[in-house]
């Protein structure tokens, strides 16, 4: 799992506009999440968006069909956790240790 830097990102000087810096970090999060999911799962961007539409369902034989297998679910969980850790790092960069 890679933790990426945003354009203003982790190397930005602390004396920049704080609101702009926070907005930039938060705006980058969905893009980085999408890129990391595609990379980890081996999906193209169109596949990612198609997968977002899929729901667990019961087929005509009464069998439950899950939207994601356990491997995909594990990868999604890992990418999500990495994003949370990255956002916590952003918080700590601007405000010190998170509470």
Strand segments (E) across the chain: 57-58, 64-65
Nearest to 37 by CA among 6, 83, 69, 5: 83
Q: Give the tokens for residue 36.
A: 């990391």
Do residues 32 and 86 touch, judged by C-beta distance below 8 A? yes
Averaged over 67-77, what is the pLDDT? 94
Confidence of residue 20 (pLDDT cuts 50, 70, 90): confident
pTM: 0.74
pLDDT at 4: 54
Mean pLDDT for all residues in the chain: 85
Provide the CA 87 distance to its chain's centre, in angstroms.
Answer: 10
Over the stretch 1-15, which tens digit does the pLDDT of each residue have?
Answer: 444 555 444 455 556
């Amino acid at each position: 799992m890679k933790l990426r830097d945003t354009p203003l990102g982790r190397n930005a000087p602390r004396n920049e506009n704080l609101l702009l810096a926070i907005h930039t970090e938060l705006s980058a999060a969905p893009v980085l999440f999408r890129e990391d999911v595609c990379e980890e799962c081996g999906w193209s961007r169109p596949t990612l968006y198609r997968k977002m539409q899929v729901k667990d369902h019961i087929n005509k034989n009464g069998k439950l069909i899950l939207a994601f297998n356990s491997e995909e679910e594990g990868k999604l969980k890992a990418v999500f956790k990495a994003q949370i850790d990255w956002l916590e790092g952003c918080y700590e960069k601007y405000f010190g240790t998170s509470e």
